[in-house]
Amino acid sequence: MTATFVAQGNDLASSGTANLIVTPANSQISLTASATQTRLGQNVIFTANVSSTTTGMPTGTVVFLNGSAQIGEALLNATRQAILNTQNLPPGTDTITAQYQGDVNFQ
């Protein structure tokens, strides 16, 4: 950012410069599932909702994990949702999380 003063009368022209760092805005993510219990091989739909803590609309990708293993990814749609359909969950208790990957404006 630069400010400039143009010479007038006896005053000399001058300018000054300041650095400004703009960081991406924070986002929030929530995750819902179409079922809390299912049978092996049945379809489950996971929906991640990404919201902004400021103005603007997050874009980009959400990664879905079962524990530490990635089970899929989906792009955010116009309503800021990323939707994953899967039938490949193993038997037992699965811990599903969604991680928003950010974009140039949001983290």
What is the layout of strands, in order, in the sheet containing 96-100?
69-75, 61-66, 96-100
Would you report the helix, strand and coil content of the chain in percent, each value rounded to 5? 0, 50, 50
- The whole-angstrom separation of Cα 48 and Cα 88 is 18
pLDDT tens, 5-59? Answer: 676 777 777 778 888 888 888 899 999 999 999 999 999 999 999 998 888 899 9
- The whole-angstrom separation of Cα 95 and Cα 91 is 12
Question: What separation, in Å, do the N-terminal and C-terminal C-alpha atoms of the chain show?
Answer: 24
Neighbours of 65 (CB within 10 A): 15
pLDDT tens, 61-85? Answer: 999 999 999 999 999 999 999 999 9
